[in-house]
Amino acid sequence: MKAIQQQYIEVASDNLGDASLLFTHQSYKASVNRAYYCIFHCVEAFLYVLDVHAKTHEGVIRKFSELYIKTGILDKNWSDIFKNTFNKRQSADYDISMTLSQKEAQDVLEQAESFLGMTKQYFENLEKREDRQGEMKL
């Protein structure tokens, strides 16, 4: 796996760990924030391999959908999770009257875990395909 791509996944994993820790301390808004950034950095890894960069979070969401969902590479569910988590993170960060239940925060945390697992699996499979293609060229 490429170094930068791997760094995105490591940062995503760190964010997930932080989200889990915050969740156990009942800091649900902060947990959702870190869970979102887990997903965000996973998506950054996906965009990196295509040499695509976006300037805003909305741009990252849009490019991910355009390049991975609309092309059928990944299931639409992953884009829905990303968008919903973004919206929850926005509310948690900026809406001072917003409250999050333990269940809502747990759902976001579980979705981030699934997203990270899917990302790792995708890149492991991609690396295996690239290795096989390299062997065939020899």
Q: What is the pLDDT of residues 4-23, one digit of tens each?
A: 999 999 999 999 999 999 99
pTM: 0.92
Per residue in 19-67, pLDDT tens?
999 999 999 999 999 999 999 999 999 999 999 999 999 999 999 999 9
Per domain, the residue ranges of the chain are: 3-137
Per DSSP, helices labelled H in 49-101 are 57-64, 76-94
Which of 94, 90, 67 lies closest to 79 in space, CA to CA? 67
Inter-helix orientation angle 28-48/76-94, to 10°: 140
Exposed (0-12), middle (13-18) or buried (19+): which is 103, by Cβ within 10 Å? exposed
Q: Is the separation of the CB atoms in 55 and 77 below 8 Å?
A: no
Contacts of 107 (CB under 8 A, 6+ apart): none
What fold characterizes domain 3-137? Four Helix Bundle (Hemerythrin (Met), subunit A) (1.20.120)
